[in-house]
Every structure is written in structure tokens, then in C-alpha cells.
Amino acid sequence: MFHKEGHKIIFITLVIVVGSFFLIDGFITNEWIRKGLMLAILVFFILILQFFRNPKRNTHANEKQALSPVDGKVVVIEEVMENEVFKDKRIQVSVFMSPINVHVTRHPIAGKVTFSKYHPGKYLVAWHPKASEENERTTVVIENDGFGKVLYRQIAGALARRIVNYAKVGTKVEQGSDSGFIKFGSRVDLFLPLDADIKVELNQKVKGGESIIAEMK
């Protein structure tokens, strides 16, 4: 199953791959070179398919838990000042996605979307300290009675050139449901209440819609 954001790119890539195969077969006479080029193009197409895959996740909904919004590795767990929306201290948990990770973004909690904003910006590497404030990004806040308010921020990386965000202010969303997509590598920051019990560790690998990031006592 592939994400809808990849349908057009997959189709265009398929057309290019098929056309390239015909050209290579018609103009390259050396068998080893012909097979090598075809193999390289086929590998490229497989990588495109892998990037846009959208596997089904078994989300166990729980109002007192915040789930990872994306697949990747936990690279930040620290208390910080969140200056865009809350303007107070929160616990930041950041998940870095490599180009081979699933890039679907999922809602970390169920509830009502109270804030959603897109910011144009730079394309610093995703692990850069200033990426959260200077890169292209979107900021979304969801609120429910069990967990409170959770802010998550999609951040474009050096390779990312488009962030897709489906969250709209005033709408109610389900935990683990599709909230967007980031094309070609980046990270997502979660900003959680200070009294949240963090359930992950640095360098831990997590799955979007399944791994528990934090829990309210």
C-alpha cells in the first residue's frame, strides 16, 4: 500500500523507467553495461516505492498516552522553552527519519486540533539545533481531556522539499490517523507537558502510531 502523496511521483517514475529500458535496450550494445544500467534504474524505482509505502499500523487508542507520530530514531529528550504557541517550558522529544523510514505523519493523540500553521524556511540538516525554528515546518496542537495539549512539529530536512499537513483547526482527529507526509527525510518534534512520563530513551527506534512516547499518570 502506497501513500496518496506518492501516487503521481510513482507513476511518473514508472514512465521514466520503462522509457529508459527501451532506450538502453535499443542503443546500448554492450551486454554488461546494458544490464548494469537497467539494474541501477530498477533499484532506484524500488527505493521510490519504499519511500512512499504506507503500512497499516495497529494503534491501541488511549487518551492518556501520546504515540510516536512517525517512524525513526529518538534523537532528543529534553526540557525546553516552547516559544511559538505555549510560551512556557515543555518536554521535547524529537524523532529523526532517514530516507528509508516510512514518512507518513500520524496524530500522536486523539482530540481537537486547536492550532495548525505552516512556516516556510531553510533546509538545514534535520539534526541541526536551529532546524526546529528556521527550517520549513508545520506546527500542530491537539488537545484532549486525558492527556492535555500536545504540540507536534514537522520539520523539513536537507533533502525534504515539501511538507504536507492535513490538520485543520477545529476538526476532531483519531489517535494514529494520517496527519500528513514529509517528502525525503526530516524529523518531527513533540512538545509534551512537564508532568508527562516519558516512555522512550535516546537512540530508541520507534514506530508511528504504535510506539508510546509518553503517558500521563
186 is catalytic: yes
Where do we find the cell 507513476?
A: 11
Active-site residue, from 94, 116, 186, 211: 186
User: What does the angle CA 85 – CA 114 – CA 124 come to, to the nearest 5 degrees?
Assistant: 50
Point out the residues that are catalytic: 186
